[in-house]
């Protein structure tokens, strides 16, 4: 049986990497950390924040509520406390629909040429 190399997946990300993923500034992420009690990234001895996948998903949810849906910070906090499971499902559906839209857009472009 041939050896198959598995891709290395990172467990922790720096604040800069997370900011780049979400296309926001690191200072906004630090601000959200003070505003949302659910967001508590680990800190190393130097005090540098390290975010795991759960933290990143929470940040994506906060970004969706505040930036895309226009919630105030107070409204976003209440929405996160109400039913986080439903919110996660809604975001998963949204992401799936965006992928399908991108695929269809690419397909249309290829067929049009």
**CA–CA gap between residue 99 and residue 92 (Å, rounded):** 11
pLDDT band at 4 (very low <50, low <70, confident <90, very high): low
Name the nearest CA neighbour of 14 among 32, 26, 28: 26
CATH class of 13-82: mainly alpha
Residue 15 has pLDDT above 60, yes or no: yes
Calculate the CA 49 to chain-centre distance: 16
pLDDT (tens digit, 9 = 90+) per residue, 47-98? 899 999 889 988 988 998 898 889 899 988 888 887 666 676 777 777 788 8
Residue located via tokens 């439903």: 86
pLDDT (tens digit, 9 = 90+) per residue, 84-94? 666 767 777 77
What is the model's pTM?
0.70
Structure tokens at 52: 């795991």
Name the nearest CA neighbour of 85 among 57, 50, 56: 57
Structure tokens at 112: 């049009």
Query: 27-30: which pairs have CB atoms within 8 A and are 24 or more residues apart?
Result: 29/59
Higher pLDDT, 52 or 5: 52
Burial environment of residue 29 by CB neighbours within 10 A (0 to 12, 13 to 18, 19 or more)? buried
pLDDT on residue 1: 52
pLDDT on residue 31: 95
Summary mean pLDDT of the chain: 85
């Amino acid at each position: 049986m041939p050896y198959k190399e598995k891709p290395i997946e990172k467990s922790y990300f720096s604040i800069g990497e997370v900011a780049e993923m979400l296309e926001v500034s690191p200072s906004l992420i630090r601000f959200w950390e003070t505003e949302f009690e659910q967001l508590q990234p680990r800190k190393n001895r130097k005090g540098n924040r390290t975010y795991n996948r759960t933290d990143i998903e929470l940040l994506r949810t906060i970004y969706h509520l505040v930036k895309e849906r226009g919630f105030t910070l107070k409204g976003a906090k209440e929405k996160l406390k109400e039913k986080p499971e439903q919110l996660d499902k809604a975001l998963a559906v949204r992401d799936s629909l965006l992928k399908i839209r991108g695929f269809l857009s690419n397909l249309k472009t290829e067929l049009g040429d």
